[in-house]
């Protein structure tokens, strides 16, 4: 057994979401959003290099030597997968590992509302899952894709960096591609996917103009496209998409987005009051005629009020979801932001949703 695998088993037992290995320090964990030091001897640069190079492929090592950092995935058989980043820092080599369970959790296990699964039933369009780093976006998308895979006969293509959750073929056919290994970029993988007879495309991150443009085009031409952004609310997500485009193209993308956007799921994780762990607070937007008009006319500031009146259509505001969690005694009362979009800055924390599922 490789040395790292023994450490990871201890990390899993402690319920950590992340493992940090840094030259000159003992292993460090992130548990429920807080840094926790393990009672072990500091790791030397020589020991760290031996441990890390043991799990890196030859290609990974070449990238690391050339660029001084590298991203890859690694599986500890029967335990979990790791999303790995190895890099150089002032004291030597270092690495951060995100712990990804082998099991794909259901939306119920993750603590997500049933309305999330409504997006598995739409035939085409664009669905965006948003939130800060470490808020469980990958877990949410994995749960959605798993439901489709088990219940529908579709061709699903995922483009990820790296592949986190793996999907076996069930009712659907699932092809998973990793940026850097199977395709050069999200854009090139998405462009190729359009020629590969897809029904559903998952883009791990939509972060540049060409990828956004192609994702919207795919949704417009009949595919169901899922993607992620690091935004915190539905209105902010729409504004971010529009702002990626140059001024002269924004009127056109507003019109196109108003016709192709199906909805958004925005989430963050909040420390539980009733037991250890975190629980997701979720906002769900479903684009109806009114919201489509607001997008087209550049009136995204009116979307929150439209969401409040759209509860019967399955819309949920972050503020109302947080208030429900408070009323159920699952979280302590939080100070709500003045914009009505839920907890104000600093009130919610964002470790991995895998920890949430493990403590439910």
Domain limits, the chain: 3-101, 107-358
pLDDT on residue 125: 98
pLDDT band with cut points at 50, 70 and 90 for residue 343 = low
pLDDT band with cut points at 50, 70 and 90 for residue 207 = confident
Q: Is the pLDDT of residue 359 over 70?
A: no
Q: Residue 199 and residue 260: Cα distance in Å, rounded? A: 15
Element (H, E) at 218: helix 209-220
CB-neighbour burial class of residue 277 (10 A; exposed 0-12, middle 13-18, buried 19+): buried
Fold agreement (3-101, 107-358): no
CATH number of 3-101: 3.30.450.90
Cβ atoms 174, 159 nearer than 8 A: no
Write out pLDDT tens, residues 124-134: 999 999 999 88
Q: Is the pLDDT of residue 244 over 60?
A: yes
Write out pLDDT tens, residues 79-91: 888 999 999 999 9
Q: Residue 168 and residue 351: Cα distance in Å, rounded? A: 27
Q: Residue 269 and residue 53: Cα distance in Å, rounded? A: 33
Q: Is the pLDDT of residue 360 over 70?
A: no
Instruction: DSSP letter for 115, please.
Output: G
Q: Is the pLDDT of residue 347 over 50?
A: no
**What global pTM score does this model have?**
0.85
Fold for 107-358, please state it: Rossmann fold (3.40.50)
Q: Are strands 80-89 and 173-178 parallel, antiparallel or unpaired?
A: unpaired
């Amino acid at each position: 057994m490789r040395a790292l695998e023994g450490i990871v088993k201890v990390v899993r037992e402690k319920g950590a979401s992340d493992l940090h290995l840094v030259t000159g320090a003992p292993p460090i964990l992130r548990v429920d959003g807080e840094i926790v030091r393990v009672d072990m001897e500091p790791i030397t640069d020589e020991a760290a290099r031996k441990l890390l190079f043991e799990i890196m492929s030859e290609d990974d090592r070449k990238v690391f030597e050339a660029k001084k950092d590298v991203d890859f995935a690694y599986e500890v058989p029967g335990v979990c997968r790791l999303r790995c980043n190895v890099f150089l820092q002032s004291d030597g080599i270092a690495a951060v590992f995100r712990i990804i369970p082998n099991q794909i959790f259901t939306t119920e296990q993750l603590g997500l509302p049933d309305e999330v699964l409504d997006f598995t039933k739409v035939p085409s369009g664009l669905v965006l899952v948003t939130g800060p780093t470490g808020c469980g976006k990958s877990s949410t998308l994995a749960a959605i894709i798993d439901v489709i895979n088990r219940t529908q006969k579709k061709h699903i293509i995922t483009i990820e960096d790296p592949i986190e959750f793996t999907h076996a073929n069930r009712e659907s056919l699932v092809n998973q591609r990793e940026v850097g290994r199977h395709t050069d970029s999200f854009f090139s993988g998405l462009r190729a996917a359009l020629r590969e007879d897809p029904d559903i495309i998952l883009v791990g991150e939509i972060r540049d103009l060409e990828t956004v443009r192609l994702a919207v085009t795919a949704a417009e031409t009949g595919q169901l496209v899922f993607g992620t952004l690091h935004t915190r609310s539905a209105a902010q997500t729409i504004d971010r998409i529009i702002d990626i485009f140059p001024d002269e193209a924004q009127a056109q993308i507003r019109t196109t987005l108003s016709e192709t956007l199906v909805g958004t799921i925005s989430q963050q994780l909040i420390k539980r009051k009733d037991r250890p762990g975190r629980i997701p607070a979720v906002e769900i937007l479903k684009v109806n005629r009114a919201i489509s008009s607001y997008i087209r006319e550049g009136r995204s500031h009116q979307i929150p009020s439209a969401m409040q009146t759209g509860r019967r259509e399955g819309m949920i505001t972050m503020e109302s979801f947080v208030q429900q969690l408070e009323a159920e005694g699952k979280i302590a009362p939080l100070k709500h932001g003045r914009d009505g979009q839920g907890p104000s800055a600093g009130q919610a924390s964002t470790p991995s949703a895998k920890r949430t599922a493990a403590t439910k």
